[in-house]
Structure 1
Amino acid sequence: MHAKKKPTKLTTTFIALLCISLLVSCNKDNTIIKHSTWTHYAGSPDQSKYFDGSEITKENVNQLEVAWSYPSEGGFNNFSPIIVDTTMYVLGKGNSLVALNVKTGKEIWIHANLRGLTRKGINYWESKDKKDKRLIFTLNNSLQAIDAVTGKSILTFGDDGYTDLRQGLDREPSSIRRVQAMMPGVIIDDLVILGSAPGEGYFSAPGYVRAYSAITGKLVWTFHTIPHPGEFGYDTWPKDAYKYIGGVNVWSEMSADVERGIVYLSLGSPTFDYYGGDRIGSNLFGNSLVALDVKTGKRLWHFQTVHHDLWDYDLSPAPQLITINKDGKKIDAVASATKHGYLFVFDRVTGEPVFPIEEKPFPASDVPGEEAWPTQPIPTLPSFMRHEVTKENINPYLSDSIKQMWYKRLDAAKTAQFTPPSDKYETIILPGPLGGANYGNTASNPEKGLVFVMSQEHPSIYQLSKVEPPKVDISADEAKRAKTMYDNTCKTCHGPNMEGGVGPTLKNMPQHIFYDEFKNIVLNGRGQMPGFVHVDEAMLASLYRFMGGNPRSFNFNRRGNEEETTLEGPVVASGGVKMREDEKRVAPMLDYPEGVEHPENRYTTGYGLEWESLMSPPWSYIVAYDLNKGEIRWKQPIGEDYEFVNGDKSKGAVIGAQRKSMVVTSTGILFATGKGGKLYAFDQETGKILWETTLSNESVAVPAMYTLDGKQYLVINATGTFARDSFDHSKEPGALPKGYVVYALPDNK
């Protein structure tokens, strides 16, 4: 057994010395960030989603109307537009990047068939003389660049036009099937800083954070999120853990203080999410907020929000960089909202907590080989959600028979916060791995000390079982579960009998796609299909068997064999740069390296997300924190749910906050999207709804905002599909097609 090791802390003196040095070296090269443009995912590198514009006010916001729209048929995407000067860049039909005129929505150029492009957005970089303008993105585990003016690939970038992101991850590169994150990176000066999404199963690759040159595509620095020997935090893991533990990655959002040259990482859980017998210790830098020097990648400070995570409580929402006035003192702070319902606030430079954080005891694990950490950090700031499922807070709209079933399950289960998953009984945990707060779910008014958090109350049900070798045959129970999964997730696009529809046919699919590639597509997405990162290994294997395949098979195709889509319009290029085939082909890592101490058995569980409607309302809402006072100023439900309450606005929507987001304006408005195609304008100070409308299609991305010739525009990606027919506003008279919808005030305002 490995002895427990306490989380290590950096001394205040050392932090101060580092930060003084940092300020001297970085301030001369960086300028204070401006919020009057939207050239970056979420607006700017600080990820505040804040926009400085004066035209749309609390008094006239209710006059907003559609100025223009751009259709993007063929399935939803969750791409966040960026706007540079008079050009908007969006993801369009046929997996294409499209440059649009921001005044009219007219296509300027189309770069088609970029299958495997990161789903949430891209980065923009320009040289100081503005002669070199680039769109930088990840595609099929590579980093590539396109000329933002011409739309053509830049072949001098990287090695013949691309950089292989599988390199440098302590694994044989050809064995890595998935590494690129679903999010764009952060651009600071001439560096693009990237997270990753290497998967959540045993032996996936580590999620090292890396910086690349935006000019050459070459690697500049690497931060080992699972420390190597001699590095800070190595003693919080078993020996050589970096050789077999994966994850600890920024799969979601990170933020940057451009003026100080600091990037703030929201790091996820180590693998495997729910069993850590092979990673005894606190596991730095898992589930940690980490501040790095942008120029060197050196750690400045960190705070671990969950020790030895067993609940998949990744840090995923963007850290918010704000200035607060506390007890008469102005503090530049960083606030990190979590999946498990807390807001942690630190001095942005020193890492010292602005509000006290207490280490509190929690239950031990009874699973063989497991050692749950005995305490967890709990902020004294009020939580934004509940933390336990009880009989009293079961959804009152459920039928009596279902409620009685749940009362019996609750009697037999354990439900307290931070109860470790067990192989002997169910643990019913609130929140589950979807949150709470998740990606896109934070925003702020940086100068006023206001932080806005979207949240949902979605529990999970866990029960561990031993990992067994994948089976070839599928049992009746497995087939039933796989069909339920297919019906809930796949049927809308692929048809009730897998015969195809919006998406391609899946009949005889296993004859053309081996399990390895199938797994990569489901988890990471392809084309218009999004990634479903929370489908566990057992369900992936069951789905594949349900479709007639053998999950023991592998393949090594990096490009896929789909036919290209022919598009009309100003197409300037098709596909990414041609990538070389691997000379050496190695199957994914399947077992511990020779000589590494490890437990006799490994354990797994599903994500237990099927009961999204278990809790009593409100199910989803926005919470406004006033961090000058350390209190919640207001809380408002968002979204509409027709299944239970027929649009009662006081309840919010089941899973309404997931894939939703906000824009904060300098005029005191908070724009937010909600389930059911809802778009709101709230008063930042009071939470009062100033305006609301219903989109023709669901919105599943971060909105954007820009100003042109003094006129202010709000951009909504409305390409989502409604979950139920009763939500479907796309069939109503005057409905717009799926696409990007741009709102503005009428010209005669």
Structure 2
Amino acid sequence: MIILSLIFWLVGLALLGGGIWLITLDGSWYYALAGIVLIVVGALTRSRRPAAQTLYALFLIATAAWSLWESGYDWWPLATRLGIFLILAIPLLITPKSGSRAGLALLLPVWAIIGVGTLASLTVDAHRVEGELSRDVVSEDANIGDTPQESWHAYGRNNLGQRYSPLEQITPENVTDLELAWQYQTGDVKRPEDVTETTYEATPLKIDNSLFLCTPHNWLIALDADTGEEQWVYDAKVPDESSRQHQTCRGVSYLPPSSGEPDDIDVQLASGPAEDLDAMQCDAQLFMPTSDARLIAVDPATGARCSNFADNGELDLLHNMPFKQAGFYYSTSPPVVADGKVIVAGSVNDNYAVDSPSGVIRAYDAKTGELVWNWDSGNPEETAPIAEGETYTTSSPNSWSIASADEELGMVYFPMGNRTPDQLGMYRSEAEEKYSSSVVALNLETGQVEWVQQFVHHDLWDMDTPAQPSLLDLDTEQGTQPALVIPTKQGDVYVLNRETGEPILPVSEQPAPQGTIEGDHAAETQPISSLSFRPPTLREADMWGATPFDQLMCRIQFKSLRYEGQYTPPSEQGTIVFPGNFGVFNWGSIAVDPKRQVMFGMPLYLAFTSTLVPKEGADLGETNQGEHGLNENAGGPYAVEMKPFLSPFGVPCQQPPWGYVAGTDLRTGEIAWKHKNGTIEDMTALPLPIKMGVPGIGGPIITESGVVFLAASVDDYLRGYDLSTGEQLWQTRLPAGGQATPMTYLNSQGEQMVVQVAGGHGSIGTTIGDYVVAYKLKQQ
């Protein structure tokens, strides 16, 4: 009994001390009161008084009532509030002192009822939105692009960015018959000297009967689409650079041959490294951006560099940059190939320096590499090719994600980021304010702006527009409209007329919190789409942890940080940013079915914190730690520290679920269904496949048969879903993290294949690897 009483005293003292701290922050009184009760229970237990059981039974009743009042009948909040206290009751039940039958008679049924009631909450999904998307085809002749049905010619299958395949061999009825067809390992693995954000996010292209994909260190690989056999490898020989924030490649781009037969590529088996081949005149071309700021053009058949493009197949993207710090500028996403041009944007490191390279978007002749136009968001009117010796605008907003194009309308659509530093808005010009955190439509021929739609005014939270726009024609009350659908980090999905930029689904403005550092300001209002996956404003009651102790610490953090809802400005005190800069949606974007005019997405919910660190007289120690960490903002008065809002045990401070899949009717903006996605199998030491709704990064694809494929989540699975209901139909274990968007095609035998790159993600801690895996239906 001495040991048991000591346990009660220690637990009680911890809760009392932390609870008093929380009360001083105007937080809940529960923890301090619980600490007092447990200290008393410990004293009664030490003196072997039967009142210990009675008091503990009343404590369990009060704790259960408080838990239900705060969180409702929801397993994870209840289990972590009640679990330890139910376990602590067991010694009181099994070691009763003679004469304590009355206390036992009360404690035993209370313990059993609360325990069974808590376990029963496992059967209730309090967060599930139940429903079904219509299976009716709205537009049988919908525009799905001119890519042959058996192929995949661009990151989103084609420049429409729909991530939709007309293949229907794999169906909701037979998807469970998928099995591994082949597996290939690239040999490009994470190195000890690599930056944290080393990721394998590539979606392969399928042209003729070959797959083309890039790797994190910019190897371009050709594989046989039937067998996965390696055909050739081109290694761009990218040097190590610790100043990069990312070491990744999301894909390559394709210029079809002038013959007009886009899939007529006779790929040859290489006898040695493709980079050692002499450069050659190319008809068809593959374009790969590199992490040392080059654009490389190679021949799809051999992997040899294209002598007709730029300097023997290499274009230096640092030309005319105002600043050229190593590792501060590069492209991680494939360029757009349209209208005879290859159009390149790039990523500028967040928060490393006020004076950084430009975010300019440039169109080059796809055959020669000659600059055709340049659009710099800091100098948006001047799009004629810049002269030698001139420079683009310093640190202007960039576009680091994937763009889309409509060659019939003559427009290319870029999701825009923010000007660095992200959290310090005093450096921005009027033009930079206009184009930051938006989508901009540029004229394919001239680069001039056709329209712009902004999603965050005066962005102080790193709410870059992260995702490729999806283009489809949408039936509306005003008739069929050319639509652009684009998700955002803050959770809104905007549906715009892609010809005019006008909203198809309503967009409104809402008041936003004020109060910034001296010299800056916050926008009085922020836009919101009527189609939105934004989460509710956080409350103290939403704080979570694996135990009451880290829950308590999360509550103390919550009350200590600045938080007045979404768009609370960053501060020296530290600000909660929710949704965080990881986004409700990120570069994986969404997938749309242009025939049924519906959408599949993977909304995520993780809070972050943003702290401005005054630099004057301070020893900051190590800075420039990547997107999540302390970054210097060289030349500015504040450094900034961005990180996930986590408990001392390393789990998110806001209660789960953290990840969902969802289906939406794009004509009405109605969210038809929303389900938890993913398990904690790879998040804990115990490999338990408990479906919790976990974070992830990557994107989905849709097939005409109504099957959706998605990996992305932090457990290492590729899954198939029913587009209509959202039900998971199939899953397979991946050899590494699947933080890439899959693709599908027909092989030479007419069999539908599904391919997933599985290489993991350095920032979110999934299993690292170098795999490409392909699946097809079992032979009957």
Q: Is TM more than 0.5 here?
A: yes
Q: CA deviation at 1:380?
A: 2.1
AA of the residue aligned to 1:740: V
8 Å contact kept, 2:710–2:741: no
1:14-29 correspondence runs (5 A): none
Equivalent of 2:342, from 180, 192, 213?
Answer: 192
The equivalent residue for 2:599 is: 451
8 Å contact kept, 2:214–2:288: no
8 Å contact kept, 1:626–1:632: yes
8 Å contact kept, 1:32–1:259: no
The equivalent residue for 2:755 is: 715
Q: CA–CA distance in 1 between the matches of 2:556 and 2:325?
A: 45
The equivalent residue for 1:407 is: 555
Alignment pair present for 1:669 and 2:675: no
The equivalent residue for 1:679 is: 718
Q: CA deviation at 1:650?
A: 4.3
The equivalent residue for 2:775 is: 743
8 Å contact kept, 2:562–2:571: no
1:596-607 correspondence runs (5 A): 602-607=637-642
Compare CA radii of gyration and give the structure with the larger one. 2
Distance 1:34 1:618, change over 3 A: farther
Distance 1:69 1:163, change over 3 A: same
8 Å contact kept, 2:423–2:640: yes
The equivalent residue for 2:283 is: 132
Alignment pair present for 1:620 and 2:750: no
Q: CA deviation at 1:350?
A: 1.5
The equivalent residue for 2:319 is: 167
The equivalent residue for 1:433 is: 581
The equivalent residue for 1:562 is: none
8 Å contact kept, 2:679–2:691: no
Partner SS state of residue 407, structure 1: helix
The equivalent residue for 2:692 is: 651
Q: CA–CA distance in 1 between the matches of 2:615 and 2:541?
A: 35
Q: CA–CA distance in 2 between the matches of 1:189 and 1:124?
A: 13
The equivalent residue for 1:147 is: 299
Q: After superposing the two structures, state which structure 1 stretch, 35-44 or 81-90, moved more.
A: 35-44
8 Å contact kept, 1:280–1:371: no
Q: CA–CA distance in 1 between the matches of 2:453 and 2:562?
A: 29
Equivalent of 1:77, from 178, 187, 200?
Answer: 200
1:271-319 Cα deviation digits (max 9, x unpaired):
2111112227580100111111212212111111111100110001111
Partner SS state of residue 660, structure 2: strand
Q: CA deviation at 1:646?
A: 6.5
8 Å contact kept, 1:45–1:257: yes
Q: CA–CA distance in 1 between the matches of 2:692 and 2:574?
A: 28
Alignment pair present for 1:57 and 2:57: no
Q: CA deviation at 1:361?
A: 1.7
Alignment pair present for 1:180 and 2:218: no
Q: After superposing the two structures, state which structure 1 stretch, 210-219 or 105-114, moved more.
A: 105-114
The equivalent residue for 1:114 is: 237
8 Å contact kept, 1:180–1:198: yes
Q: CA–CA distance in 1 between the matches of 2:775 and 2:438?
A: 38
Q: CA–CA distance in 1 between the matches of 2:761 and 2:581?
A: 23
Q: CA–CA distance in 1 between the matches of 2:660 and 2:339?
A: 36
Q: CA–CA distance in 2 between the matches of 1:682 and 1:404?
A: 38
Q: CA–CA distance in 1 between the matches of 2:750 and 2:434?
A: 48
Q: CA–CA distance in 2 between the matches of 1:469 and 1:343?
A: 44
AA of the residue aligned to 2:608: S
Q: CA–CA distance in 2 between the matches of 1:93 and 1:177?
A: 15
Aligned residue pairs total 582
The equivalent residue for 2:426 is: 277
Q: CA–CA distance in 2 between the matches of 1:224 and 1:724?
A: 33
1:438-471 Cα deviation digits (max 9, x unpaired):
0013111122221222222111112212235896
Q: CA–CA distance in 2 between the matches of 1:534 and 1:311?
A: 13
The equivalent residue for 2:9 is: none
Alignment pair present for 1:416 and 2:564: yes
Q: CA–CA distance in 1 between the matches of 2:438 and 2:149?
A: 27
Q: CA–CA distance in 1 between the matches of 2:416 and 2:379?
A: 14
TM, length-normalised to structure 1: 0.72
8 Å contact kept, 1:389–1:428: no
Q: CA–CA distance in 2 between the matches of 1:33 and 1:318?
A: 18
The equivalent residue for 1:262 is: 411
Alignment pair present for 1:302 and 2:452: yes
* RMSD of equivalent CA atoms: 3.0
Alignment pair present for 1:698 and 2:737: yes
Distance 1:65 1:407, change over 3 A: same
1:16-59 Cα deviation digits (max 9, x unpaired):
xxxxxxxxxxxxxx975665421211311122111111211111
The equivalent residue for 1:355 is: 505
Partner SS state of residue 743, structure 1: strand
Partner SS state of residue 434, structure 2: coil
Q: CA deviation at 1:377?
A: 0.8
Q: CA–CA distance in 1 between the matches of 2:639 and 2:484?
A: 35
Partner SS state of residue 663, structure 2: strand
Distance 1:168 1:153, change over 3 A: same
Q: CA–CA distance in 2 between the matches of 1:67 and 1:177?
A: 39
AA of the residue aligned to 2:663: A
Q: CA–CA distance in 2 between the matches of 1:155 and 1:536?
A: 43
The equivalent residue for 1:337 is: 487
Q: CA–CA distance in 2 between the matches of 1:724 and 1:210?
A: 32
The equivalent residue for 2:277 is: none
Distance 1:50 1:134, change over 3 A: same
Partner SS state of residue 168, structure 2: coil
Partner SS state of residue 283, structure 1: helix
Q: Percent identity?
A: 28
Q: CA–CA distance in 1 between the matches of 2:381 and 2:153?
A: 39
1:92-136 Cα deviation digits (max 9, x unpaired):
698532211111112222223532696111111122215712111
Q: After superposing the two structures, state which structure 1 stretch, 31-40 or 82-91, moved more.
A: 31-40
Distance 1:369 1:34, change over 3 A: farther
Equivalent of 2:643, from 608, 614, 623?
Answer: 608
AA of the residue aligned to 1:357: V
Q: CA–CA distance in 2 between the matches of 1:255 and 1:740?
A: 26
Equivalent of 1:537, from 616, 631, 638?
Answer: 631
Q: CA–CA distance in 2 between the matches of 1:606 and 1:247?
A: 22
Distance 1:622 1:151, change over 3 A: same
TM, length-normalised to structure 2: 0.70
Distance 1:741 1:431, change over 3 A: same
8 Å contact kept, 1:698–1:722: no
AA of the residue aligned to 2:561: A
Q: CA deviation at 1:325?
A: 2.3
Distance 1:724 1:631, change over 3 A: closer
8 Å contact kept, 2:566–2:579: no
8 Å contact kept, 1:441–1:455: no
Partner SS state of residue 331, structure 2: coil
Q: CA deviation at 1:625?
A: 1.5
Distance 1:95 1:385, change over 3 A: same
Q: After superposing the two structures, state which structure 1 stretch, 271-280 or 462-471, moved more.
A: 462-471
More helix by share: 2
Partner SS state of residue 580, structure 2: coil
8 Å contact kept, 1:679–1:694: yes
Distance 1:177 1:436, change over 3 A: same
1:541-583 Cα deviation digits (max 9, x unpaired):
xxxxxxxxxxxxxxxxxxxxxxxxxxxxxxxxxxxxxxxxxxx
Partner SS state of residue 149, structure 1: coil
Runs of 5+ consecutive residues of structure 2 not aligned to the other structure: 1-143, 191-198, 240-246, 262-281, 384-390
Higher relative contact order (CA 8 A, sep 6+): 1
Partner SS state of residue 433, structure 2: coil
